[in-house]
Each structure stands twice: as structure tokens, then as C-alpha cells.
Amino acid sequence: MSDLPKRVFSADVPQFKQNGGVLPDTEDTELTAFLDDALQEIYSKSEVPPPCPFCKSTNTGLASRPHARLPLPSFLCRTCRLRQFNRVTGTPLMRLRAAKLPAFIHLLSQQMSYAEAMRRLGVDYTAVENWTKKFRTWLLQLDPSGKWEARVRLGIKVRPHIQCPYCGLEGEKHFSAFLVGQRAIRCPDCNRRFGLKNAETMIQKPAELKIFYEPSSDSKIVPPCGRRPRS
Ligand SMILES: [Zn+2]
Ligand SMILES: [Zn+2]
């Protein structure tokens, strides 16, 4: 798994807005365009039957045209005859609120907290968390190389790894508030606060940003009572 594409973060993006400022736009428009195409395909009103999501047979036909109550066409499979399906059936996006997803995909690649995404979309934490998780799973299904999934940054938090220019401590440092024109970091050992760019100049080595918090990785999520809320 070590040859999976690397997630890239910028040290210049603050985790939160400071003093009423605005967060820089860090949208990866290529990922948005890729997801936009994929969404249009599964929410298409085309009545041309797709393969069966259960048995993969192409011996399928139209079961019902789109109508007011069911806005997507449904299909049936003449091979397994399991049950009617549409193009969303069998994808991780099943049962998600389709109306908010086109706005959500603009945020998925951004170096942004869940709190900011909640505010912009007017939804709760569970929804942002659930959608992020579902889209990351879907991206890996659409492209198992992981190239697109590695462009997701929403909710993921990073910390700089750089030697402290004062006490020499190696490894993880904490981000602190912005200094003029650069992010400030704090050394957990000597407790000094300094600019990231200044530190890079002093020790003549770039800092490495490493993930320290991944809210959507399965290991961190404990669903309440095992229930899967509709979101
Ligand atoms: Zn089938
Ligand atoms: Zn130090």
C-alpha cells in the first residue's frame, strides 16, 4: 500500500478563519470536475438500461420512467430478477440527500475543517462526516489507483515536522496563530513560537506536513449504537 498517491497539503492555509478574515480557496477544480461527471452519470434521467448492480448482467430493461415521486428511472434485471434498481443503487451514495451533493463536491478537496463545511452547506456534523466518508469510498471504487481519492483534504488536519531552531527537538510541532505573512508554529519542548518560513531558513530544510487527524478514517469512527443515520 506504500505506493498509494500522497495527499498534498499547503502550510500557508490556516485551519480556521482569523479575525473575521476569509479562508483561501483551495478547491482542486479537477477533482470537482471528475466528481461532477460521475454525479451526472448516476443521477442521469437516461432511460437506457445500465448493467445490473447485483449480478452485472447486461440483460436489463426499463422498469419505470422518471416521475414526480421517483425522479430517477428504475430498471429491472432479467437475469437475477433480484429487485428494481437505479444508477445510484449499489454505490456508496445510496440514500444520500442528492440536492446538497453538487455544492458539497466543491468543498471535498479543500483544506478546510468540517465546521467550515457545515457552515457553508447548512448541514450538521454527521452529514459532512458521512458524505466525506462515502465520497472517499466511491472515489476509490471509481479509480482504484487512489489518484483521485488522494485529492480529498476536507476535515483532515496536518502538523509540521521540522527541527526546532532553538532547542533542536526533531519531529512534530503544533500550529499556532498566524504571524505576519506566515504560519506560526510552537515547539512542544521549549515552548517557543516562531514562523514556519523563518524556521525553514534557519535550519535550511523544508518542514514536512504530516496528517495527525483523519476524521473520516474508519478506525476513528464509532457510530452511536451502530445506527446508520440517513443523511
Ligand atoms: Zn441482476
Ligand atoms: Zn524547541
How far, in Å, from the CA of 14 to the mean position of ligand 2?
22
Phi, psi of 6 (to 5 degrees): -90, 140
Residue type present at position 123 = V
Q: Are the C-beta atoms of 155 and 117 separated by less than 8 Å?
A: yes
**212: confidence class by pLDDT, cuts 50, 70, 90:** confident
How far, in Å, from the CA of 62 to the mean position of ligand 1?
13
Q: Where are the domains of the chain?
A: 1-15+23-45+86-155, 163-206
**In the chain, where do the E strands start and end?**
60-64, 74-77, 157-161, 174-179, 182-186, 193-195, 208-213
Nearest-angstrom CA–CA distance, 202 and 163:
10
**15: confidence class by pLDDT, cuts 50, 70, 90:** confident
Name the pTM for this structure.
0.85
Give how far the C-alpha of residue 197 lies from the chain's centroid of Cα atoms, to the nearest Å. 28
Please, which residues have CB within 8 angstroms of residue 223's CB and are 6 or more apart in sequence?
Answer: none
Q: Are the C-beta atoms of 54 and 82 separated by less than 8 Å?
A: yes
Share of the chain above pLDDT 90, in %: 72
Q: Could you report the per-residue pLDDT of 59-87, keeping only the tens digit for each?
A: 999 999 999 888 899 999 999 988 899 99
**204: confidence class by pLDDT, cuts 50, 70, 90:** very high
How far, in Å, from the CA of 189 to the mean position of ligand 2?
5
For the ranges 91-100, 143-152, 166-175, the lowest mean pLDDT is seen at 91-100
Ligand positioned closest to the Cα atom of 162: 2
Q: What is the average pLDDT value for the chain, to the nearest integer?
A: 88
CB under 5 Å of ion ligand 1: residues: 52, 54-55, 57, 77, 79-80
How far, in Å, from the CA of 55 to the mean position of ligand 1?
4
Q: Which of 133, 157, 144 is nearest to 210 (CA)?
A: 157
DSSP track, 173-205: -EEEEEETTEEEEE-TTT--EEEHHHHHHHHTS
How far, in Å, from the CA of 168 to the mean position of ligand 2?
6
For the chain, the C-alpha Rg in angstroms (whole number) is: 22
**226: confidence class by pLDDT, cuts 50, 70, 90:** very low
Give the angle 119-121-122 at the CA atoms, nearest 5°: 65
Q: Could you report the per-residue pLDDT of 29-65, keeping only the tens digit for each?
A: 999 999 999 999 999 999 999 999 999 999 999 999 9
Average of per-residue pLDDT across 89-101: 91
How far, in Å, from the CA of 221 to the mean position of ligand 1?
33
Ligand positioned closest to the Cα atom of 190: 2
**228: confidence class by pLDDT, cuts 50, 70, 90:** very low
Q: Could you report the per-residue pLDDT of 116-167, keeping only the tens digit for each?
A: 999 999 999 999 999 999 999 999 999 999 999 999 999 999 999 999 999 9
Ligand positioned closest to the Cα atom of 50: 1
How far, in Å, from the CA of 31 to the mean position of ligand 2?
38
